[in-house]
Structure 1
Amino acid sequence: MPRRSYDQYCAVARALDAVGDRWTLLIVRELLGGSRRYTDLHADLPGVSTDMLASRLKDMERDELLTRRRLPPPGAAFVYELTPRGRALLPALTALADWGAPALDEQRPTDAVRAHWSAVPLMARLARHYPGDTVRVIDIALDEGAFHIVLDPDGPDAARYADGPATHPDTVLRMNTATCVALAQDRLTLAEALAAGRIEETRPGERTPAPTTA
């Protein structure tokens, strides 16, 4: 299929030539969490048809936003992963998440939800809370499941996330979905949520002091 273009000598139009189609940026959102198989992508993009997903992946490979590679045996499956050009869309997705967060009012009955969909808006907020800290790997436990975020010391634009808990997290944050949404909407800071008891933080490896005896 030939590339569709706005045919405008404009940076915004050029960007939309590559990522303006339906589902493209949501595929980027999924792949920011690491390599994914086609079946994984289809499972976490409810509503996309198999034909549409296959077409978008081909377009994104052509536009050098992602690559496809075969896993070595015994896996032998193909996985998709972002190129540096694709990963460079993280600030754009963060800005879109910030812009869209006020629309996260009551969850509609038809809304699908995945825990890791909260990762993008949380990255910058966690980076603000732990600047230059020894905390780099953070487990997030929500009602719907868990994911983890890896903060980069060079800045939030280089942060990344992955589905499921980390093997060796520096800290674990447990919260409900409503608290997570409040953080994304900047109605609540992480420090405020911790102080109010809306987030439970656990530092693995920290020992609880033994009780003293009289």
Structure 2
Amino acid sequence: MPRQPRPPGRRSYDQYCAAARALDAVGDRWTLLIVRELLGGPRRYTDLHADLPGVSTDMLATRLKDMERDALVERRRLPAPVSASVYELTVRGRRLLPVLQALEEWGAPALDDRRPTDAVRAHWFALPLRRALSGLGGAGVVDVRLDEGEFHVRVGPGEPHAAYGDGRAPEAPDARLVLDTGTCVAVGRGDLSLEDAVREGRVEVEGEGELAKLLRGS
């Protein structure tokens, strides 16, 4: 098979290996964190920049351009009266969800005490909490309130268009959880199960949906 030419300006490991090809596309600094943000649904450039503290505007623009080239994201114009451009993951981009979930599970033990320089956003806890909720075996939408703010997660079979989102879910949730950040970190690290956190009173559960009942053990 003839070798495909490398796109102009693109760096490559030049290895005939699936892992190397994957890292050619997502191995650059900030790329996977942009994916993390877009797993929550379409975002405007300004919103992405606000929730990626530390990235320069030039770097963010470059990474988004690279990700468009690699068919990970696409840009579209919202209709009036909004009339704004947003970036969203393609189907290929959304298939990085299990990759991000595996990374956060692998990195969770490193979340010890928060450093003075650490930024935090409530929705950064969505993927580890979604993983814990998925382990219950149910399906639905869960609203979550932490000290830093609110978000919602979607769990169950299939490939969700958005694995989570900022704020409360637009539809009626199957459950609503209220917990502090320390409890959420402990659950993400695997130090504490959600069921035990509920039994110990560290997680308040509201609602009568399937997931709420599973969490209460009823």
TM value normalised by structure 2? 0.88
Structure 2 equivalent of residue 208 of structure 1: none
Q: Is 2:163 aligned against 1:160?
A: yes
Instruction: Name the SS of the counterpart of 1:146 in structure 2.
Output: strand
Q: Tell me if structure 2 keeps the 8 A contact 1:18–1:60.
A: yes
Query: 1:41 — aligned with what?
Result: 48
Say if 2:190 is the partner of 1:186.
Answer: yes
Q: Deviations over 1:164-189 (max 9, x none)?
A: 11131111000000000000000000
The AA in structure 2 aligned to 1:36 is R
Q: Which residue of 2 aligns with 1:77?
A: 84
What letter corresponds to residue 161 of structure 1 in structure 2? Y
Question: Could you say which residue in structure 2 is the equivalent of 1:66?
Answer: 73
RMSD: 1.4
Gaps of 5+ in 1: 206-214
Describe the SS at the equivalent of 2:135: helix
Partner of residue 176, structure 1: 180
What letter is aligned with 1:145? G
**1:26 counterpart residue number:** 33
Moved over 3 A (4+): none
Matching residue of 1:127: 134
Offset at residue 76 of structure 1 (A): 1.1
1:200 corresponds in structure 2 to: 204
Aligned to 1:137: 141
Aligned residues: 200
Paired residue for 2:98? 91
CA distance in 1 between counterparts of 2:103 and 2:154 reads: 21
For residue 64 of structure 1, give the secondary structure of its aligned residue in structure 2: coil
Q: 1 CA distance for matches of 2:129 and 2:195?
A: 13
1:153 Cα deviation from its structure 2 partner? 3.1
Q: Report the AA paired with residue 77 of structure 1.
A: A
Is contact 1:170-1:203 (8 Å) kept? Answer: yes
Amino acid at match of 1:71: L
Q: 1:2 aligns with which of 9, 21, 32?
A: 9
Secondary structure of the residue aligned to 2:169 is coil
CA distance in 2, matches of 1:96, 1:153: 21
Task: State the TM-score, normalizing by the size of structure 1.
Answer: 0.90
Match of 2:21 in 1: 14
Kindly indicate whether the alpha-carbon contact (under 8 Å) linking 1:115 and 1:142 is maintained by their aligned counterparts in 2.
yes
**Aligned residue among 57, 64, 70 for 1:57:** 64
1:164 maps to a residue whose letter is G
Shift of 1:204: 6.5
Q: Percent identical across equivalent pairs? A: 65
Tell me if structure 2 keeps the 8 A contact 1:169–1:204.
Answer: no
What do the CA deviations read for 1:44-89 (whole angstroms, capped 9, x no partner)? 0000000000000000000000000011111111100000100000
Distance in 2, Cα, partners of 1:116 & 1:181: 13
CA distance in 1, matches of 2:157, 2:26: 28
